[in-house]
Structure 1
């Protein structure tokens, strides 16, 4: 199963992805995203100051305004 990185504050998303069988890694630092097939972020600190450092080769999903179920569907559609 795919390895999904999830920002720390998104516990409902983390729980929902784990219940679907995904391996979930908590994203506390940029290095935590290495090896992840997909990352889910809150969007609150997305690209601050216009600086972008790519730490993951897969898609990055902004969970802002989405339910845990919507995020799970988005993850599934992007990693397949």
Structure 2
């Protein structure tokens, strides 16, 4: 199953993805996005400085305004 990196603040999303069988890791300074198949971000600090540095080749999902189930659906559709 795919490895999904999820921001620490999105604990409900982490739990929902684990229940679907995904390997979930918290994105933080120790564990970056580079080894993940997909990342889920909260959108809180998205592009604050106007710079974009791609740390992952896979999809990045902004969970802002989405439920945990909607995020799971988005992950599933983007990884197919």
TM range (shorter): over 0.9
Kindly indicate which of the two structures has a greater share of residues assigned to helix.
1
Per-residue Cα deviation, 1:6-62 (whole angstroms, up to 9, x for no partner) = 000000000000011000010013851011110000001001111111111100000
Stretches of 4+ moved more than 4 A in 1? Answer: none
Report the RMSD for the aligned CA atoms in angstroms: 1.3
* TM-score, structure 1 as length reference: 0.95
- Return 5+ residue gaps in structure 1 as ranges: none
Supply the distance in 1 between the matched residues of 2:55 and 2:26 (Cα, whole angstroms): 14
Aligned length: 80
| Structure 2 stretches lacking a partner, 5+ long | none
Instruction: Name the structure 1 match of 2:56.
Output: 56
